[in-house]
Amino acid sequence: MFQLKEKISHRFFAAFFIVAVIPIVLMGIGLYRAAERTLIDSAYMHIQTIAQDRTNKLHSWYEERLGDIRVLSRLSAIRDLCLTGGPPSSEKECTSRAAVANDLLALTRGKSLAYESIHLISLSGKVIASTEPNSEMIVTKMYLEDLKNMEAANGPVLSHLMQHTNREWYIHLTVPVYSKDGKMKAAVFSVLDALGTLDPILSDRTGLGKTGEAYLVDKDGEIVTKSRFLSLKETAKRRFKTFGIASAIARKDGISIFRNYMGREVVGCYRWLPRFHSGLLVEIQKNEILAPVKAIRTAVLTTAALVILICFMASFLLSRQISRPISEMAKASREMAGGSLDQRISYSRRDEIGTLSQSFNSMAEDLASLIDSLKQREISIQKAYDELMQAQQQLVQSEKMAAIGELVAGVVHEMRNPLSSVKLNFQIIGRSLGRDTPLREHYSIGLNQITQLEKMLSSLLDYSKPISFEKVPFQLETVLAESMLQLQPLTRERAIEVKNEGPTADVIGDPEQIRQVLTNVVKNAIESAGPSGKVEVTIKAAGENSDNGPLVEVRDNGPGISQQDIKRIFQPFFTTKRDGTGLGLSIVKKIMEAHGFRVSISSEEGVGAVVSLYFQAK
Task: Please tell me the predicted confidence (pLDDT) of residue 408.
Answer: 65
| Domains along the sequence of the chain with CATH | 75-187 (3.30.450.20), 198-289 (3.30.450.20), 367-465 (1.10.287.130), 468-614 (3.30.565.10)
Q: Is the pLDDT of residue 296 over 90?
A: no
If pLDDT is split at 50, 70 and 90, which confidence band does 318 have? low
> What are the two backbone dihedrals, phi and then psi, of residue 273, each rounded to the nearest 5 degrees?
-110, 100
Q: E strand or H helix at 235, and its extent?
A: helix 232-235
Q: What is the pLDDT of residue 320?
A: 65
Helix ranges (DSSP H) in 338-351: none
**CA dist., res. 525 & res. 527, Å (int):** 5
pLDDT tens for each residue of 350-366? 666 667 777 777 777 77
Instruction: Report whether pLDDT(281) > 90.
Output: yes
Answer with the residue of higher pLDDT: 536 or 390.
Answer: 536
| Amino acid code (one letter) for 384 | A
Instruction: Give me the pLDDT at residue 49, please.
Output: 92
Sign of the C-alpha dihedral computed for residues 57, 62, 65 and 71 taken in this order: negative
Hey, is 552 helix, strand or coil? strand
| Mean per-residue pLDDT of the chain | 78
Tens digits of residue pLDDT in 401-443: 666 666 666 777 677 778 777 777 777 777 777 677 777 777 7
Amino acid at 366: D
Provide mean pLDDT across the span 363-372. 78
Mean pLDDT of 467-480: 82
Q: Facing residues of 322 across strands?
A: none
Q: What pLDDT band is residue 88 in, cutting at 50, 70 and 90? A: very low
Candidates 468, 463, 486, 484; CA nearest to 407 is 463
pLDDT band at residue 161 under the 50/70/90 scheme: confident
Residues sharing a CB contact under 8 Å with residue 312, sequence separation 6 or more, in sequence order: 13
